[in-house]
């Protein structure tokens, strides 16, 4: 008999019930009890959906973040959260969300825990805060309560924990101490926890150790051995779960740990299965994650059975099957998508459908393929339809791609020559000022967009409204004295969706929400087919904006790598190829903007860095095709056209050469919060082109002072020649209000003027 299980289920709810309950609670409209009731209802529903599994995960639910839950369970809670008093739940949300100064009766603000990306996903977790002083103490009540809930539903349950090494690995110390040294203090708490789980009747526990798919040094590997040796024999049987990648040099380690089973992500590590079977002791369970928990395509059931059936013969009862990772990273239920185009819908599977697929696989393994013939046939039909769809495969797109084969995407002339021509054309002062693209997205703008989408106002009325917003935005920028203007992006809901909606090859869901962090969800578009751009996407508006001013207008586009990294992407061809198709579509737009007389074009690559593979060994390959795609999109323009790119983060040290290789004339980046620390990289590496290190932290409501911004730029000028520096905010202004933005930009322009006086006279 083949055993089925799941690693985790999306918690946000089919209609984002958890989001609305959380936000209602934070606004003070819903009390803690009602919030907990909503959460319990969601858990019960999710457990019912999973009831056909042999083992249903429990403890995967979280009110905010599973890593933060684990930190609370281990008693590793920052002092500042406890000191403010209140309930355990208050303390939890305080770490999750912080608390603004002046909020409630306490006068000092409490800062939220740092948030960062969960491996290579778009999910963000709260980083455990550690120091040499950190002590641990078990607080298992939350988990135990959830176990009892599941028991009351008479389900066979499997508690889910983040393993000790991965939890430490995700954490950070601020006192310079080594977090691995906390391991001996941590192990007894895990032992106690495992004992408790046994007492609650758990037969199995799932211990997530995805850090095993990353590059680990010897100390961490030893940590694994030590920890699992110390935990051996205590608690339920242990299923060590790895996901998001291959084990590679950690394979022997993972197979040698004294646990009862190992889970492998077969969407990414399928070629390691043989080696794992050879290495894993024969009394161990091998769980194979054969259904992709990171994407939304139907599984090829018969191909998966071709793979699984021989393994079932060899492994017998030792074989378990599951999704590759927690289903947290896919939307809940395709059945909610009543508007989705019928053809595309047939190709998809969300969390609920993925569990049905798992069930089908298990039946076939147990009773033979004949027992589920109808389902297998339906699956084969859907896959065949996708494979032969003319909306997926377009010969003309593939031809264009082939024609590009040897094109490295280089500009006509090197930067020095281009820069001279651009200076002549644009006539910008020293320290030119600009913004990143968006201006405040007021409630009115959002309302108008909604009214237009839902048919309450017609295209003409909407266009007039947007033009009026553009006019206001241009007038304000002229009044402020900015040098390179933008149109303000009032028409854009989202920098990916806006372009995806206008490209062929993309589909959109209505409820395809995926948790990004806490109550925040994103709805990634679905890139299903060859990409074509049927008509210009931005040209009319940008041309209109340029017609309103004598100053240079900057056209604003999202880059191919970002479009790719923030979508669910087709799995029937390499991502690099899909990215190049996107690049071609953006390139056409760039060329039309240029032909329309737009002198400056910015191509945002906000998600370039986050596409980096987990293993360093794979970075070069990714950077190679990603940077080339950017160059293809950007570099088919004349020397006089100035290309900008923007990235809203500041960790460049390890990829600076690739960034320089993009050869954008100007790059704007986030730096103000790190006090220009990022520019340290420019001591060793001479960045060749122009750069705008952000001086206005747009994440904060604070209005930066003239002197502060001036000082930041002076720091920058120590490392980069002033002739190549721009003055701009860290990122787009859409989340801020006009009341904040106007004085901040006024100060920014004033700072630039002071800098000009200072450096001009120095040069003289």
Closer residue to Zn ion (CB): 527 or 731: 731
Backbone angles phi, psi at 132, to 5 degrees: -60, -20
Give dist(CA 147, CA 201) in Å, integer.
Answer: 9
Q: What is the residue whose two structure tokens read 């491996």?
A: 119
Q: Are the CB atoms for 32 and 123 separated by under 8 Å?
A: no
**Rule CB under 6 A: is residue 729 a binding residue for ligand GLN?**
no
Closer residue to Zn ion (CB): 340 or 648: 648
**Rule CB under 6 A: is residue 495 a binding residue for ligand GLN?**
yes
Closer residue to ligand GLN (CB): 311 or 466: 466
Give the one residue of 76, 255, 436, 601 binding ligand GLN; rule: CB under 6 A: 436
Tokens of 415: 């930067």
The count of chain residues that interact with Zn ion, using the rule CB under 5 A, is: 2
- The 10 Å CB-count burial string (b at 16+, else e) for 596-634 is eebbbbbbbbbbbbebbebeeeeeeebbebbbbbbbbbb
Closer residue to ligand GLN (CB): 131 or 493: 493
Closer residue to Zn ion (CB): 499 or 759: 499
Q: Residues with Cβ < 8 Å from 757, sequence gap 6 or more?
A: none
CB-CB neighbours of 457 under 10 Å: 18
Q: Specify the 3-state DSSP secondary structure of 98.
A: coil
Which 8-state DSSP code applies to residue 570?
Answer: -
Q: Give the binding range for ligand GLN (CB under 6 A) out of 22-30, 362-370, 678-686, 729-737.
A: 729-737
Which among 204, 690, 632, 561 is positioned nearest to 409, based on CA atoms?
Answer: 632
Closer residue to Zn ion (CB): 581 or 650: 650
The kind and range of the H/E element at 265 are: strand 261-265
Q: Residues for the chain: how many in total?
A: 764
The count of chain residues that interact with ligand GLN, using the rule CB under 6 A, is: 13
**Rule CB under 6 A: is residue 646 a binding residue for ligand GLN?**
yes
Residue 598 interface partner, choices Zn ion, ligand GLN, none, CB cut-off 5-8 Å depending on type: none
**Rule CB under 6 A: is residue 247 a binding residue for ligand GLN?**
no
Partnered with residue 520 across adjacent β-strands are: 517
Give the per-residue contact string, 629-658, with Zn ion (x = CB under 5 A; - = no): -------------------x----------
Closer residue to ligand GLN (CB): 251 or 731: 731
Which 8-state DSSP code applies to residue 348?
Answer: B
Q: Is the dihedral of CA 146, 151, 153, 158 positive or negative?
A: positive
Tokens of 595: 């032909």
Residue 59 interface partner, choices ligand GLN, Zn ion, none, CB cut-off 5-8 Å depending on type: none
Q: What is the residue whose two structure tokens read 């946000």?
A: 12
Q: Give the binding range for ligand GLN (CB under 6 A) out of 38-46, 76-84, 274-282, 731-739.
A: 731-739
Q: Are the CB atoms for 360 and 380 separated by under 8 Å?
A: no
Residue 437 interface partner, choices ligand GLN, Zn ion, none, CB cut-off 5-8 Å depending on type: ligand GLN
Q: What is the residue whose two structure tokens read 């809930």?
A: 149
Give the one residue of 200, 483, 604, 730 binding ligand GLN; rule: CB under 6 A: 604
Closer residue to Zn ion (CB): 323 or 692: 692
Q: Give the binding range for Zn ion (CB under 5 A) out of 60-68, 74-82, 294-302, 725-733.
A: 725-733
Q: Is 452 noted as a catalytic residue in this protein? A: no
**Rule CB under 5 A: is residue 731 a binding residue for Zn ion?**
yes
Tell how strand 514-517 and strand 520-522 pair up: antiparallel
Tell how strand 261-265 and strand 124-126 pair up: unpaired
First to last CA, the chain: 84
Give dist(CA 710, CA 705) in Å, integer.
Answer: 9
Closer residue to ligand GLN (CB): 94 or 646: 646
Tokens of 346: 């047939």
Q: Please state the closest distance from residue 646 (CB atom) to ligand GLN, in A.
A: 5
Q: Give the binding range for ligand GLN (CB under 6 A) out of 287-295, 317-325, 327-335, 728-736.
A: 728-736
**Rule CB under 5 A: is residue 197 a binding residue for Zn ion?**
no
Given the residues 47, 111, 487, 699, the one annotated as active site: 699
**Rule CB under 6 A: is residue 693 a binding residue for ligand GLN?**
no
**Rule CB under 6 A: is residue 496 a binding residue for ligand GLN?**
no
Closer residue to ligand GLN (CB): 10 or 524: 524
Give the one residue of 305, 482, 731, 755 binding ligand GLN; rule: CB under 6 A: 731
Q: Please state the closest distance from residue 436 (CB atom) to ligand GLN, in A.
A: 4
Residue 556 interface partner, choices ligand GLN, Zn ion, none, CB cut-off 5-8 Å depending on type: ligand GLN
- The 10 Å CB-count burial string (b at 16+, else e) for 205-224 is bbbbbbbbbbebeeebbebb
Residue 734 interface partner, choices ligand GLN, Zn ion, none, CB cut-off 5-8 Å depending on type: ligand GLN
Which among 297, 323, 321, 328 is positioned nearest to 307, based on CA atoms?
Answer: 321
What are the Cα distances from residue 284, in Å, to 237, 423, 444?
Answer: 10, 68, 60
Give dist(CA 631, CA 587) in Å, integer.
Answer: 9
Residue facing ligand GLN at closest CB distance: 732
Q: Please state the closest distance from residue 609 (CB atom) to ligand GLN, in A.
A: 12
Alpha helices in 349-496 (DSSP H): 351-367, 373-388, 395-403, 415-426, 443-453, 459-480
**Rule CB under 5 A: is residue 607 a binding residue for Zn ion?**
no
Q: Give the binding range for Zn ion (CB under 5 A) out of 251-259, 307-315, 459-467, 723-731.
A: 723-731
Which among 357, 365, 354 is positioned nearest to 311, based on CA atoms?
Answer: 365
Closer residue to ligand GLN (CB): 171 or 732: 732
**Rule CB under 6 A: is residue 437 a binding residue for ligand GLN?**
yes
Give dist(CA 700, CA 642) in Å, integer.
Answer: 30
Give dist(CA 322, CA 208) in Å, integer.
Answer: 14
Q: Please state the closest distance from residue 646 (CB atom) to Zn ion, in A.
A: 6
**Rule CB under 6 A: is residue 606 a binding residue for ligand GLN?**
yes
Which among 549, 667, 599, 547 is positioned nearest to 426, based on CA atoms?
Answer: 599
Give the one residue of 62, 241, 295, 438 binding ligand GLN; rule: CB under 6 A: 438
Give the one residue of 39, 182, 556, 755 binding ligand GLN; rule: CB under 6 A: 556
Q: Please state the closest distance from residue 568 (CB atom) to ligand GLN, in A.
A: 19
Q: Give the binding range for ligand GLN (CB under 6 A) out of 375-383, 430-438, 535-543, 686-694.
A: 430-438
Q: Which parts of this chain interact with ligand GLN (CB under 6 A)?
A: 436-438, 489, 495, 556, 604, 606, 646, 648, 731-732, 734
Q: Which parts of this chain interact with Zn ion (CB under 5 A)?
A: 648, 731
Active site members? 699
């Amino acid at each position: 008999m083949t055993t089925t299980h799941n690693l985790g289920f999306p918690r946000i709810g089919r209609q984002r019930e958890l989001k609305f309950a959380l936000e209602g609670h934070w606004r003070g409209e819903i009390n803690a009890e009602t919030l907990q009731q909503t959460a319990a209802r969601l858990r019960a529903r999710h457990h019912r959906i999973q009831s056909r599994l042999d083992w249903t995960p429990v403890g995967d639910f979280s009110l905010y973040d599973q890593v933060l839950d684990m930190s609370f369970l281990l008693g590793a809670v920052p002092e500042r959260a406890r000191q403010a008093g209140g309930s355990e739940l208050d303390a939890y949300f305080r770490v999750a969300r912080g608390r603004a100064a002046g909020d409630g009766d306490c006068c000092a603000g409490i800062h939220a825990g740092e948030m960062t990306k969960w491996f290579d996903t778009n999910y963000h977790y709260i980083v455990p805060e550690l120091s040499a002083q950190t002590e641990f103490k078990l607080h298992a009540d939350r988990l135990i309560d959830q176990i009892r809930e599941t028991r009351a539903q008479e389900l066979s349950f499997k508690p889910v924990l983040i393993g000790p090494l991965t939890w430490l690995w995700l954490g950070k110390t601020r006192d310079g101490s080594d977090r691995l040294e906390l391991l001996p203090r941590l192990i007894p708490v895990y032992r106690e926890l495992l004992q408790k789980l046994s007492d609650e009747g758990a037969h199995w526990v799932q211990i997530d150790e995805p850090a095993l798919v990353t590059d680990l040094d010897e100390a961490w590997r030893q940590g694994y051995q030590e920890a699992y040796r110390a935990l051996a024999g205590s608690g339920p049987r242990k299923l060590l779960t790895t996901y998001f990648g291959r084990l590679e040099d950690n394979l022997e380690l993972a197979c040698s740990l004294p646990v009862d089973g190992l889970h492998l992500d077969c969407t990414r590590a399928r070629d390691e299965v043989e080696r794992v079977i050879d290495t894993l002791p024969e009394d161990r369970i091998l769980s194979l994650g054969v259904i992709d928990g990171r994407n939304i395509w139907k599984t090829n059931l018969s191909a998966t059975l071709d793979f699984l059936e021989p393994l079932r013969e060899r492994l017998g009862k030792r074989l378990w099957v599951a999704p590759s990772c927690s289903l947290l990273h896919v939307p809940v239920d395709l059945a909610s998508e009543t508007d989705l185009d019928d053809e595309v819908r047939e190709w998809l599977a969300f969390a609920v459908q993925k569990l049905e697929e798992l069930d089908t696989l298990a039946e076939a393994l147990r009773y033979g393929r004949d027992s589920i013939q109808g389902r297998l046939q339906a699956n084969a039909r859907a896959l065949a339809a996708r494979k032969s769809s003319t909306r997926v495969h377009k010969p003309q797109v593939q031809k264009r791609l082939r024609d590009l084969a040897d094109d490295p995407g280089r500009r006509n002339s090197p930067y020095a020559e281009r820069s001279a021509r651009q200076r002549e054309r644009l006539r910008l002062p020293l320290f030119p000022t600009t913004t990143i693209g968006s201006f405040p997205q007021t409630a009115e703008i959002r309302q108008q967009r909604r009214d237009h989408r839902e048919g309450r106002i017609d295209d003409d009325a909407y266009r007039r409204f947007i033009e009026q917003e553009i006019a206001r935005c241009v007038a304000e920028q002229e009044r402020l004295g900015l040098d390179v203007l933008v149109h303000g992006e009032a028409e854009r809901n989202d920098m990916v969706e806006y372009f995806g909606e206008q490209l062929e090859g993309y589909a959109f869901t209505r409820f395809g929400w995926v948790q990004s962090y806490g109550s925040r969800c994103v709805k990634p578009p679905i890139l299903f087919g060859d990409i074509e751009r049927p008509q210009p996407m931005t040209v009319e508006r940008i041309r209109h904006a340029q017609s309103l001013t004598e100053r240079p207008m900057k056209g604003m586009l999202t880059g191919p790598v970002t479009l790719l990294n923030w979508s669910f992407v087709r799995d029937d061809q390499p991502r690099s190829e899909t990215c190049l198709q996107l690049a071609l579509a953006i390139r056409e737009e760039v060329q039309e903007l240029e032909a329309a007389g737009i002198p400056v074009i910015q191509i945002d690559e906000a998600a370039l860095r986050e596409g980096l593979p987990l293993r360093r060994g794979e970075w070069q390959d990714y950077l190679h095709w990603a940077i080339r795609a950017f160059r293809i999109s950007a570099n088919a323009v004349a020397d006089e056209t100035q290309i900008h790119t923007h990235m809203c983060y500041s960790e460049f040290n390890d990829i600076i050469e690739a960034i320089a290789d993009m050869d954008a004339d100007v790059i704007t980046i986030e730096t103000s919060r790190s006090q220009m620390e990022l520019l340290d990289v420019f001591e060793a590496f001479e960045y060749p082109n122009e750069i705008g290190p952000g001086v206005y932290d747009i994440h904060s409501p604070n209005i930066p002072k003239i002197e502060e911004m001036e000082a930041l730029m002076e720091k920058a000028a120590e490392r980069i020649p002033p002739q190549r520096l721009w003055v701009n905010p860290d990122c787009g202004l859409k989340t801020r209000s006009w009341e904040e933005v106007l004085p901040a930009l006024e100060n920014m322009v004033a700072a630039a003027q002071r800098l000009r006086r200072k450096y001009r006279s120095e040069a003289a």
